[in-house]
Amino acid sequence: MPNQPATPNRTLRIPDEIWQEARRIAADRGENVTAVVIRALERYIRQFGDDHNGDG
């Protein structure tokens, strides 16, 4: 299908004040909040990924 995104949409609940400030800063830096969230999640996985014990 043309114009199909490469990745699936996800739903997150984020307080408005955090979302709006993140959008403003991301736009000032020439990026979008998706890129910011991906970087944050990648950093989170690198930092804590080996700490899991299989409990889900």
In this predicted structure, what is the pLDDT of residue 53?
60
Residue 28 has what pLDDT? Answer: 98
Q: Tell me, what's the pLDDT at 46? A: 95
Let me know if residue 42 belongs to a domain. Answer: yes
Residue 20 resides in a domain: yes
Per the structure, the count of domains in the chain is 1
Q: Is residue 4 part of a domain?
A: no
Dump pLDDT digits (tens) for 6-53.
889 999 999 999 999 999 999 999 999 999 999 999 999 999 998 766
Q: DSSP assignment of 8-44, as one string?
A: --------HHHHHHHHHHHHHTT--HHHHHHHHHHHH
Q: Which range of residues forms the domain containing residue 30?
A: 16-48
